[in-house]
């Protein structure tokens, strides 16, 4: 008897399930991001649209745009062009975008216009981590890692100032704990997720994008811990 093969016809009428919910397996990161975004306070972003005159084409939903951006940063995909392409080629991005395809100009403009509000999501995600028992708020760790950015080097801490702080007893005590507190974080952000430079220009924008990068770092911690917004 000859070997039978499964039917695999690219011209068939339906290649994907009719329901978006069926596109991804249970426990997928994109599902988790979608659930978390539903719990976030995006009222400040919506207020910007409500303050307009309502003219022009209908805008893409802010919650959908936030889903796509947060998932992109979780995956190390921050370029607006790469995100646009992923909404066509990547099932998870298509799921989060509800099979819509904002172009790269729209994605970049949304991030730029709402960057301040997006960076504030860092605090919300950090509070979720606290509720999940993953972090204790109140301790700040510093390290000397470098990421490329279009920002003035004269407004950052010099090696002389850093050296002075590290010579104090308090500075030495903090520095001893760097391997357990902060170096693994930068290693994961730079090596595993591929963030080695910032996309935006200016110190303020860089600081805001850094909060967005770290907010998604905490999102990944929540996801890997097995925590769910439904259990909160």
> Lowest-confidence range among 53-62, 64-73, 167-176?
167-176
Give yes or no for a contact between 80 and 69, defined as CB atoms under 8 angstroms apart.
no
Per-residue pLDDT averaged across 137-153, rounded? 54
pLDDT score for 142? 47
pLDDT tens profile 79-101: 999 999 999 999 999 999 999 99
pLDDT score for 146? 56
Predicted TM-score (pTM) of the model is 0.75
What b/e readout covers 150-182, taking b as 16+ CB neighbours within 10 angstroms?
ebeeeeeeeeeeeeeeeeeeeeeebbeebeeeb
Look-up of token digits 């084409």: 57
């Amino acid at each position: 008897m000859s070997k039978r093969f499964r039917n695999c016809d690219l011209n068939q009428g339906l290649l994907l399930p009719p329901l978006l919910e069926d596109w991804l397996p249970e426990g997928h990161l994109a599902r988790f991001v979608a659930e978390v975004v539903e719990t976030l306070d995006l009222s400040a972003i919506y207020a910007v649209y409500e303050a307009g005159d309502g003219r022009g084409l209908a805008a893409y939903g802010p919650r959908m745009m936030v889903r796509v951006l947060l998932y992109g940063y979780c995956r190390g995909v921050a370029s607006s062009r790469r995100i646009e392409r992923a909404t066509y080629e990547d099932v998870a991005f298509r799921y989060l975008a509800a099979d819509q395809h904002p172009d790269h100009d729209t994605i970049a403009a949304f991030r730029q216009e709402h960057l301040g509000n997006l960076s504030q999501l860092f605090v919300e995600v950090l509070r979720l981590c606290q509720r999940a028992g993953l972090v204790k708020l109140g301790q700040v760790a510093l390290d000397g890692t470098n990421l490329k950015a279009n920002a003035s080097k004269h407004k950052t801490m010099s090696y002389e100032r850093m050296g002075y702080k590290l010579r104090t007893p308090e500075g030495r005590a903090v520095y001893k704990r760097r391997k357990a507190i902060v170096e693994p974080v930068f290693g994961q952000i730079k090596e595993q997720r591929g963030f080695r430079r910032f996309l935006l220009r200016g110190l303020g924008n860089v600081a805001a994008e850094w909060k967005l990068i770290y907010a998604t770092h905490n999102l990944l911690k929540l996801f890997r811990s097995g925590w769910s917004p439904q259990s909160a």
